[in-house]
A and B are shown apart, each in its own frame.
Chain A
């Protein structure tokens, strides 16, 4: 049923306002996150050091070492990684390095999670 005519400029303005308004409103309420790396407030997700399942490929070796209170050297040694590998190296890049340099290591974020699970239970195992 036709109720009333709408001015086309009002219509155009309302289209833009509704679309952007909902997005801005959600952002204002903290209901917004554009990356798995941030929470809904836009803050970077930090490791808690309690559950290795929280580890993601975009995190660095150093972050994991700090959060789980394990020396970086121990992680590198456990996975047969070069001892000079920087703590800034992202986990997904470590996999690339292993592949490119043909290293004898089974490093992957998943294997690191498993290793940490056992380690935080108080057992140390050889990742191989």
Chain B
């Protein structure tokens, strides 16, 4: 049975701290977007940065041009490169913490999912859930395969941006559509945004799971991050709470060191584990297969 948490425990819970961090970064971007729309419209000569100037993916897109020519592709700036470097440093230390703690688009999807869970008991959603339960095996396979799609997106963007020297992804980028929402342009990006927002009510972080090219980069680089979550087999009671609380459907209860590229370091599993079997560890950066053999050797 779970003991009820006190106020102090609640305020110090990772869920609450994560909410604060996510809300802080999301509000900052919302404020920048508001200023860009309102102030820039009223005083055209004033320099008001666009929220796109803070997007690390702009840094990925412009990096090749910046390194080879010292210039930036259209709509990207030095700030994009700097935020990308900050993201890479964070990833080398803490794996996908950017996704779980900072990215405003991940935050939005997460909050919509919470809302989705609240309305899950309504009749149309109940029948949808029943439909999904009947096809659970098939949907799980689809989910497993669909997660590789983000790597295809990444390769396409890198190839296109280097070949054409423009942001080829911008017309399809739901985040770019979101931060320019007042411009209401009904293009591919707006359609993708609408699909992602609707899916977010039913699936945890659909964009992060299946299509985010930045998530793909972070997941790959995060494999060699310094800090990782690990499960101590001797403490684990196999209750499965961690698996139930994991938004990325990772099999935590059977993992050793969690090096799964989809883990966003939300720390839900850590917080929920009643046996304290999960913890954060400073690890020596070693590639996946080595981690696997270490896990087996240590009985993790």
Contacts of A16 in B (CB 8 A): 21, 101
What are some 12 contacts across the A-B interface (CB < 8 A)? Answer: A1-B283, A2-B281, A4-B282, A9-B17, A12-B17, A14-B94, A16-B21, A18-B93, A23-B82, A32-B82, A35-B47, A36-B77
Contact of B14 with A35 in the complex, beta carbons under 8 Å: no
| Chain B minimum-CB-distance residue to A10 | B280
Interface flag for B87 (CB, 8 Å): yes
Contacts of A18 in B (CB 8 A): 86, 89-90, 93-94
Interface flag for B227 (CB, 8 Å): yes
Interface flag for B30 (CB, 8 Å): no
Contact of A19 with B98 in the complex, beta carbons under 8 Å: yes
Interface flag for B85 (CB, 8 Å): yes
Contact of B227 with A37 in the complex, beta carbons under 8 Å: no
Question: How many angstroms from the CA of A40 to the CA of B90 in the assembled complex?
Answer: 23
Contacts of B89 in A (CB 8 A): 18-19, 22
Question: How many angstroms from the CA of A7 to the CA of B17 in the assembled complex?
Answer: 14
Interface flag for A120 (CB, 8 Å): no
Contacts of A98 in B (CB 8 A): none
Query: With A18-B89, A19-B90 in contact, is A32–B79 under 8 Å at CB?
Result: yes
Q: Is the interface of B mostly helix, strand, loop or mixed?
A: helix
Interface flag for A88 (CB, 8 Å): yes
Interface flag for B257 (CB, 8 Å): yes
The contact of A1 among B17, B18, B83, B284, by CB within 8 Å, is B284
Contacts of B195 in A (CB 8 A): none
Which residues of B come within 8 Å of A, CB atoms? 12, 14, 17-18, 21, 44-45, 47-50, 53-54, 72, 77-79, 82-83, 85-87, 89-90, 93-94, 97-98, 101-102, 227, 230, 257, 267, 270, 279-284, 286, 294, 298
The contact of A4 among B12, B14, B48, B281, by CB within 8 Å, is B281
Question: How many angstroms from the CA of A115 to the CA of B108 in the assembled complex?
Answer: 48
Interface residues on chain A, number (Cβ under 8 Å)? 37
Give the contacts of A1-58 with B (CB-CB under 8 A): 1-9, 11-12, 14-16, 18-23, 26-27, 31-38, 40, 44, 58
Q: Is the interface of A mostly helix, strand, loop or mixed?
A: mixed
Contacts of A1 in B (CB 8 A): 283-284, 286, 294
Question: How many angstroms from the CA of A16 to the CA of B93 in the assembled complex?
Answer: 11
Contact of B280 with A14 in the complex, beta carbons under 8 Å: no
Looking at the assembled complex, report how far the CB atom of B88 sits from the nearest CB atom of chain A, in whole angstroms: 9
Contact of A93 with B280 in the complex, beta carbons under 8 Å: no
Interface flag for A90 (CB, 8 Å): yes
Interface flag for A108 (CB, 8 Å): no
Contact of B280 with A5 in the complex, beta carbons under 8 Å: yes
Question: How many angstroms from the CA of A31 to the CA of B97 in the assembled complex?
Answer: 24
- The 5 A-B residue pairs with the shortest CB-CB distance, nearest first, are A34-B49, A22-B86, A1-B284, A34-B53, A33-B78
| Chain B minimum-CB-distance residue to A4 | B282
Contact of B47 with A8 in the complex, beta carbons under 8 Å: no
Query: With A4-B281, A38-B47, A60-B45 in contact, is A15–B101 under 8 Å at CB?
Result: yes
